[in-house]
Amino acid sequence: MQTMKDLIAEHPFFRGLDPEHLDVIAGCAQNVRFQAGEFLFREGDEADRFFLIRHGRVALSTYIPERGAITIQTIGAGEVLGWSWLFPPYRWHFDARALEVTRAIAFDGKCLREKCQADSKLGYELMRRFASIMMDRLQATRLQLLDVYGGRS
C-alpha cells in the first residue's frame, strides 16, 4: 500500500524533491474526491489549499460580464491546481470545477506556509515550482482573453 509520501513523490510537480521535504509536505496532505460539476473552489473565497490532480479534469474559469464564465484552462492528471494560498490576502482568483470525477491530493495552505517559514530551503523550492505554474496560467489567461476580446473594437 502506498503512503501519502509515496503518492506525492511520484507526482511530476514534486519529482526530485528532497526526501526530508517530502516527509514535511506529506504531513499537510490528504486525499480528496470531487464529483462532476462540483466546485473545488470559487473566485473570491478563501484560498486555503492547493491540489495535485491524480485523476480527472478540472476547468479553471473566470466570469466576464456579458460573456459569462470563460474557461481559461483545463487541468488534468499530473498537474497542479491553485497558487493563491501563497499570497495575501489568500483569495482565489478563478473558479475551479470538476468536469468529471476527480481525485486529488489537497494540501493545507496554512500548514505549508508555516513549514516554509521554518525551512527557507523548502520555501524556495516550492516557490520556484509554483512560479512556473503561475507563468503558465497567466499566459493561458492572456491568450484566452485575446480570443474573447480580439474581434471587438
Mean pLDDT along residues 4-22: 91
Number of alpha carbons in the 13 Å side-chain half-sphere of residue 109: 20
Residue 140 in this model has a pLDDT that exceeds 80? no
Q: How confident is the model at residue 19 (pLDDT cuts 50, 70, 90)?
A: very high
What is the pLDDT, as a whole number, of residue 41? 97
Our count of domains for the chain comes to 1
Say how many residues make up the chain.
153
How does residue 143 score in pLDDT terms, banded at 50, 70 and 90?
Answer: confident
% the chain with pLDDT above 70: 92
Is pLDDT larger for residue 136 or for residue 129? 129
pTM equals 0.85
What is the C-alpha to C-alpha distance for residues 66 and 26, in angstroms, rounded to an integer? 43
Dihedral over Cα of 93, 94, 97, 99: its sign:
negative
**pLDDT tens digits, one per residue of 80-110:** 999 899 999 999 999 999 999 999 999 999 9
Show the domain range for 139: 4-149
CATH number of the domain encompassing residue 81: 2.60.120.10
> Cell for 115?
513549514
